[in-house]
Amino acid sequence: MPTAAVLRIEIEHSLANRFPAALSPAPRTIREVAGTGIEAVDELLEGGLPVGAISELTGAESSGRTSLALAFVARRTKEGRVCAWVDVNDAFDPESAAANGVSLRQLLWVRCRYVKAAAKLERPWARLDQALRSTDLLLQAGGFAAIVLDLGATACEHGNRIPAAMWFRFRQAADRTRCSLVVLGRTAYAQSSAAVVLECSMQQVKTAGGTVVSGLEYDVRRRRERFKSLPQGQRKPPVSTWSVQPAWQAARRA
């Protein structure tokens, strides 16, 4: 009696003209990534943030999540690529971005603001809804190497209200247009639609003379990465440490 392997070969041979390698799995492709420009983070991620996928940078305020996103966008814009920053709470600072190396000519800044005349009538969800619609339009349009959805100042109870279907839609569009969607937030919101989740935290503030801030040191921990598990025997997710100069020092040096 022929074995399963022999039967498989016979079936594939009979279907070769109509369906080549009908029962053969698709070959695995190399995961495409884009460097963040921060060596320690790129080493942690084995190359950088994924292209055509959602990456979440989480943490409290002053945890380094925005600095990491700026470094990534700076790297992309220096390559001549167009990026977008969807600013939910109108907190983006162009001067700080430029000081961190972002080419503002290559960056679309989407500002979500209240209309003053109707500010009292608007719900807290209003600006978030604007941001989600804008992100969807940008992803569907294509042409952006990276889009940052800044939910950093958004309350967790509002971020958790974003439907899972919306994140799945973003994931599909990012994959189709080969765009890196980077989501900044206090916690992870995209759930299984995110390819990478990084948790950022402040480690220490470096000072000169005891009063002047000369540098900041952050920890970045990989909380989750799709299709990648922890090495055998390792219980805690890997962590990397990186340093950055304050934006005003970077601007003076430039």
Whether residue 94 is predicted with pLDDT greater than 90 in this model: the reply is yes
Structure tokens at 234: 């390792």
At 132, the pLDDT band (50, 70, 90 cuts) reads: very high
* pLDDT confidence of residue 223: 78
Q: Would you say residue 243 lies in a domain?
A: no
Whether residue 143 lies inside any domain: the answer is: yes
For residues 232 and 84, what is the distance between their CA atoms, to the nearest angstrom? 39
Q: What are phi and psi of 66, to 5 degrees?
A: -70, -40
pTM over 0.85: no
Is the residue at 159 inside a domain? yes
Residues 86-115: what's their mean pLDDT? Answer: 91
In the prediction, which pLDDT does 217 show?
Answer: 79
* Residue 81 placed within a domain: yes
Assess if residue 160 is contained within a domain.
Answer: yes
Which residue type is seen at 249?
Q
**pLDDT value, residue 222:** 84
Give residue 86's pLDDT: 97
CB 221 within 8 Å of CB 237: yes
Kindly tell me if the per-residue pLDDT of 120 is higher than 90: no
- CATH number for the domain including 119? 3.40.50.300
DSSP symbols for 176-239: HHT-EEEEEESS--SGGGEEEEEEEEEEEEEEETTTEEEEEEEEEEEEEETTB-PPTT--SPPE
Number of domains, the chain: 1
Q: How confident is the model at residue 253 (pLDDT cuts 50, 70, 90)?
A: very low
Task: Tell me, yes or no, whether 13 lies in a domain.
Answer: no
Q: Concatenated DSSP letters for 111-178?
A: E----GGGTTT--THHHHHHHHHHHHHHHHH---SEEEEE-TTS-HHHHTTS-HHHHHHHHHHHHHHT
Q: What is the mean pLDDT of residues 34-62?
A: 93
Q: Report whether pLDDT(20) > 70.
A: no
3-state secondary structure of 95: helix
Q: What is the dihedral of CA 103, 107, 110, 136, to 10 degrees?
A: -150
Q: Does 214 have pLDDT greater than 80?
A: no
What is the average pLDDT value for the chain, to the nearest integer? 81
Percent share of the chain, pLDDT over 90:
52
Residue 254 has what pLDDT? 40
Judge whether residue 33 has pLDDT over 60.
Answer: yes
As a whole number, mean pLDDT of residues 64-81 equals: 95
For residue 43, give its domain range: 29-200+222-233
Look at residue 80 and tell me if it is in a domain: yes
CA distance 160 to 188: 9
Rounded CA separation 162/56 (Å)? 14
Of 30, 32, 35, 49, give the one whose Cα is nearest residue 181: 49
Query: Is 244 part of any domain?
Result: no
- Looking at residue 148, its amino acid is V
Contact (Cβ atoms closer than 8 angstroms) between residue 59 and residue 40: no
pLDDT in tens, 147-174: 999 999 899 999 999 999 999 999 999 9
The pLDDT value given to residue 219: 83
Q: How far is CA 51 from CA 35, 110, 226, in A?
A: 10, 21, 13
High-pLDDT (> 70) share of the chain, %: 67
